[in-house]
Structure 1
């Protein structure tokens, strides 16, 4: 048999599209050609494959070798096609049987010695294979490097067959002895203690803690405004510890996105992502991009937290790219030859000083910034971006005597229990967090009583809010009511929600 057909996958954003690897041997002058829109690293596979086969003591056929990666219009990148190409050459030349190849999918980069090296996106590929519409595809085993086994096995019921080398894979197909065949890998998920610092370390700042609890319970975005040293970053670092637990589907989606980057650390399974890019980050670093699109910080924070410290120090253009993903929960990166879509259902948490020197409103009176300088500094944040931030809270400095006298605060575990209970109410009522309610759903689930209506209309007229701000106040009030266990939004809930949009001088 001079033709062998194997199956693999190519990554295009979050999609791991199926790829058919066809290897044909023909008579003629010896050559090795790879077709099917391969990138440079795929073209280099012929040198890795040749050396790997020879060092594994196989014969490299001195014939005309043609490898086709179908479909031809789908770009192929990375070294993940090394393994199926090598197996295809061996099967086409009759050195190993290839009659059972259709039961598996293959991915793996070969070293020159024939060892299998880890690949990027193993979890995303397994996730796509297992959720394929075709039942036959869903039942296929996945043969991949052993270093990726724990990550790929996070997909429940997927058949993962890890291998350390090309010889291991060849023995699987050549030997009838079960001892030499690849064994299915099963992941062991052990609950791990929280890695986040505890809220009990934070003294005082009751309003900021309350705002963080509301944000965690309803999935709302939050901006902390205050002088240096008041605890903004300290509070933000503890925020992931009070978020409701991740569901299996959320954990799998978040892990699949992270596997597209530097890889997913299995020890972080079911722990919320917490991304903290520096304020010098570019727009591409934040939203993703590149000639071969990769996920950015907003996608790596999927189902987790994106914390932007010193918010006005970010380039304004960089901040503006957050506006659409905050509404849609996804980001589409378009290039001339391709388009990639990544999920970006992140929770924005930001911190900033109120003025250039940072001490505007501080009781020490150290601020010497002019009103124009304060306005310009706060003006670095556009109105449309601020409009999309649900809660904006002032974090004031604690006097020395209060700081010394304050006792330890409430623990993260106690707060997390309340946020989980509130989210459970939301899931029972509308199957989603309050922050994701559509306008028609807001009218259905967030309608306040008459006193609350009157208060909200008065605030909207006085503060010149947009329709978006009006809806966001209602959603925050709904979360406050859920934390209180109230079936309807009442005037006190509206009043508390209103005060969380007045932290900035001109807001």
Structure 2
């Protein structure tokens, strides 16, 4: 047989389109050609495959070898096609049986010795395939490097067969005995809740803690304004520990995105992502991009937290790219040759100083910034972006007496229990977090009583709110009511929501 056909997968954003690997051996001068829009990493597989076959004691055919990666118009990248190309050469030259090859899909990078090295995006690949074939009766079967087995097996619908080397894969198809067969890999069970830093370590700042509890319960975004050293970063780092427990579906989505950059570890299964890019990050680093589009920080924070410290120090153009994902929960990266969609359902936690020196309003009286300097500094955050941030809170400096006291704050576990109960109530009532309610759903689920409605009218007239700001205040009030176990939004709930909606220039 001079032709062998195998199946593999490429990565295009969060999609994993199938790639047919066709290997043909023909008479003529020895040559090795790969066609089908391969990028540099794929073209270099010729040398890796040749050395791996020879060091594994297989015969490398002295023929004209043509490898076609179909479809031809889909760009192919990374070393994931090494394993199917090597198996295709062996099958086409008759060194291994080709009967059962079509029952599996293959991906893996080969070392020169024939060992299998891990690939990027194994979990994203199995997650995308099983999601697209969820109505199919046939169970997808994959042969992958052992280093990728734990993450790929998290998708229970997929049959994962890990291997350490090319020889192990060949022995599996040669059927030399049951001991030579690859065993199906099972995912490790997760029995412990992920560990996070504890809110009990934060001294004082009761108002900030309360605001973060409201944000966690309703999936709201937050900006904290205050002088240096007041605990803004400390509070943000502990925020993931009070978020609702991740569902299996959410955990798979998050892990699949992280696997695209080889950033997922099995030890972090069901742990909320926490991303904190430096303020020098570019717009591409934040939203993703590149010739082969890869996810940025907002997608790597999917189902978790994106913390932007020193918010005004970010380039304004960088901050503006957050506006659409905050509303839609996904990002589309378009290039001339391809387009990729990535999820970006994250909670934004931002922190900033009130002025360039940081001490405006501080009791120590150190601030010497002029009103114009303060206004220019705060104007670095555009009105449209600020309008999309639900809670805008002050984090003031603590008195020295409070700093000298022993930390005795409420533990994250207790706050998490209240958040979990409020979130469960939202799921039962509307099937989603309050922050995701549409305009029609706000009218249905966020009806204030008469006194609360009058308070809202007065606030709208006084602060000149936009329609978006009005709806966001209503959603925050709905979350506050859920935390209190109240069915109706009252004036007390609305009043608390309004105090979280203070403009920077009023600070």
Q: TM-score, normalised by structure 2?
A: 0.98
Q: Which residue of 1 aligns with 2:147?
A: 147
Change (3 A) 1:47 1:388: same
Q: How far apart are the structure 2 equivalents of 1:410 and 1:427?
A: 26
Q: Deviations over 1:234-291 (max 9, x none)?
A: 1111101101100000000000000001231000000000000000111111100011
Q: How far apart are the structure 2 equivalents of 1:270 and 1:180?
A: 34
What's the offset of the Cα at 1:404? 3.0
Q: For structure 1, which segment, 127-136 or 38-47, has the greater mean C-alpha deviation from structure 2 after superposition?
A: 127-136
Q: Deviations over 1:328-358 (max 9, x none)?
A: 1001011110001100001000100000111
Q: Contact 1:309 / 1:351 at 8 angstroms: preserved in 2?
A: yes
Q: Contact 1:311 / 1:351 at 8 angstroms: preserved in 2?
A: yes
Q: How far apart are the structure 2 equivalents of 1:385 and 1:136?
A: 43
What's the offset of the Cα at 1:168? 0.3
Secondary structure of the residue aligned to 2:504 is: coil
Q: How far apart are the structure 1 equivalents of 2:410 and 2:141?
A: 48
Q: How far apart are the structure 2 equivalents of 1:17 and 1:95?
A: 29
Q: Which residue of 1 aligns with 2:410?
A: 410
Q: Which residue of 2 aligns with 1:109?
A: 109
Secondary structure of the residue aligned to 1:11 is: coil
Q: Contact 1:204 / 1:406 at 8 angstroms: preserved in 2?
A: no
Q: Contact 1:129 / 1:138 at 8 angstroms: preserved in 2?
A: no
Q: Contact 1:217 / 1:479 at 8 angstroms: preserved in 2?
A: yes
Q: Contact 1:329 / 1:344 at 8 angstroms: preserved in 2?
A: yes
What's the offset of the Cα at 1:129? 2.3
**1:203-214 pair list within 5 angstroms:** 203-214=203-214
Change (3 A) 1:87 1:137: farther
Secondary structure of the residue aligned to 2:16 is: strand
Secondary structure of the residue aligned to 1:19 is: strand
Q: Contact 2:331 / 2:344 at 8 angstroms: preserved in 1?
A: yes
Q: Which residue of 2 aligns with 1:363?
A: 363
Q: Contact 2:140 / 2:157 at 8 angstroms: preserved in 1?
A: no
Q: How far apart are the structure 1 equivalents of 2:318 and 2:137?
A: 41
What's the offset of the Cα at 1:99? 0.8
Q: Which residue of 1 aligns with 2:480?
A: 480
Secondary structure of the residue aligned to 1:7 is: strand
Q: Which residue of 2 aligns with 1:260?
A: 260
Q: Which residue of 1 aligns with 2:351?
A: 351
Secondary structure of the residue aligned to 2:10 is: strand
**1:32-47 pair list within 5 angstroms:** 32-47=32-47
> Are residues 1:426 and 2:426 paired?
yes
Q: Which residue of 2 aligns with 1:316?
A: 316
What's the offset of the Cα at 1:457? 1.0
Q: How far apart are the structure 1 equivalents of 2:152 and 2:405?
A: 51
Q: Contact 2:243 / 2:416 at 8 angstroms: preserved in 1?
A: yes
Q: Deviations over 1:354-403 (max 9, x none)?
A: 00111111112211111111100000000000000000000011111233
Q: Which residue of 2 aligns with 1:456?
A: 456
Q: Which residue of 2 aligns with 1:189?
A: 189
> Are residues 1:494 and 2:494 paired?
yes
Divergent runs of 4+, >6 A: none
Q: Deviations over 1:169-216 (max 9, x none)?
A: 000000241100100111212333543211111121111000000000
What's the offset of the Cα at 1:501? 1.0
Q: How far apart are the structure 2 equivalents of 1:445 and 1:131?
A: 32
What are structure 1's unaligned runs of at least 5 residues? Answer: none
Q: How far apart are the structure 2 equivalents of 1:261 and 1:270?
A: 18
Q: Contact 1:9 / 1:18 at 8 angstroms: preserved in 2?
A: yes
Secondary structure of the residue aligned to 1:327 is: helix
Secondary structure of the residue aligned to 1:12 is: coil
Q: Which residue of 1 aligns with 2:63?
A: 63
Q: Contact 2:190 / 2:269 at 8 angstroms: preserved in 1?
A: no
What's the offset of the Cα at 1:66? 1.1
**1:124-273 pair list within 5 angstroms:** 124-133=124-133, 138-273=138-273
Secondary structure of the residue aligned to 2:408 is: coil
What's the offset of the Cα at 1:130? 2.0
Q: Deviations over 1:51-105 (max 9, x none)?
A: 1111111111111111111111111000000000000010011100011111111
Q: Which residue of 2 aligns with 1:48?
A: 48
What's the offset of the Cα at 1:134? 7.1
**1:269-280 pair list within 5 angstroms:** 269-280=269-280
Q: Contact 2:202 / 2:407 at 8 angstroms: preserved in 1?
A: no
Q: Contact 1:109 / 1:118 at 8 angstroms: preserved in 2?
A: yes
Secondary structure of the residue aligned to 2:375 is: helix
**1:258-407 pair list within 5 angstroms:** 258-405=258-405
What's the offset of the Cα at 1:141? 1.2
**Number of aligned residue pairs:** 507
What are structure 2's unaligned runs of at least 5 residues? Answer: none
Q: For structure 1, which segment, 266-275 or 365-374, has the greater mean C-alpha deviation from structure 2 after superposition?
A: 365-374
Secondary structure of the residue aligned to 1:350 is: strand
Q: Contact 1:130 / 1:137 at 8 angstroms: preserved in 2?
A: no
Q: How far apart are the structure 2 equivalents of 1:336 and 1:138?
A: 36
Secondary structure of the residue aligned to 1:80 is: coil
Change (3 A) 1:135 1:115: farther
Q: Contact 1:129 / 1:137 at 8 angstroms: preserved in 2?
A: no
Secondary structure of the residue aligned to 2:17 is: strand
